Structure 1
């Protein structure tokens, strides 16, 4: 089987930002406040970040808080959600410095990764 594809690798980073789905941005009048996790993803898109997703959890704790879990009928608005951003380290660093007002007291973790691009030869 011929290898008709080229694999290119480059180092990137991943930020994981842990917060509550109930964390909001903006005025809280009349249900107008936006969910923080959505604002972080929207802002990451505007800033040119390679990838941004929100991952809901089922059970756990964050920032030394109590253990939370989703019930079978009602979701817990305080159970941790993870916003994951993937991009160049300098770009992720700039994102944090630029949007520190959104990140406040959140637990933020950085990890080095490799981005692989597969293209036809």
Structure 2
């Protein structure tokens, strides 16, 4: 089997922001304020972050608070969720400095990663 593809590597980072689904932002409206995790993802998109997702948890704690868990019928609005952002280190650093008012009391963790891009080799580079 020939190697028909090339793998390009570059260093990126992952930022994990731990918060509660009940954390809100903005004015209270008739139907309530916007969830903070959605605003963080919307803001990350506007800031050209490469990837942003919110992940639910089932059991745990954050920021030295008590252990929480989702019940069989009702979700716990205080159980930690994680917003994960992937991008260049400087870009993630700037995101935190720009939006510190949203992040001030959150547990935030940074980790180095590699971003891989797979491209098809052209006829000239196959030899």
User: Is residue 2 of structure 2 the alignment partner of residue 2 of structure 1?
Assistant: yes
Aligned residues: 121
The unaligned stretches of length 5 or more in structure 2 are 122-127
- Please give the secondary structure, in 1, of the residue aligned with 2:2: coil
Residues in 1 aligned to 2:83 and 2:3: alpha-carbon distance in whole angstroms? 36
- Where structure 1 has 5 or more consecutive residues not aligned to the other structure, the ranges are none
Per-residue CA deviation, residues 35-93 of structure 1 (Å, 9 max, x unaligned), is 00000000000000000000000000000000000000000000000000000000000
Which 4+ runs in 1 deviate beyond 3 A? none
Following superposition, the deviation at residue 29 of structure 1 comes to 3.5
Q: Distance in 2 between matches of 1:51 and 1:44?
A: 8
Name the residue aligned to 1:58. 58
User: Alignment partner of 1:29: what SS?
Assistant: coil
The yes-or-no answer on 1:31 pairing with 2:31 is: yes
Within a 5 Å distance, the mapping from 1:34-113 to structure 2 comes to 34-113=34-113
2:39 counterpart SS class: helix
Question: 1:22 — aligned with what?
Answer: 22
Q: String of CA shifts for 1:79-111, please: whole Å, max 9, x gaps.
A: 000000000000000000000011120000000
RMSD of aligned alpha carbons: 0.6
Q: Matched residues in 2 for 1:24 and 1:12: separation?
A: 29
Per the normalisation by structure 1, the TM-score is 0.98
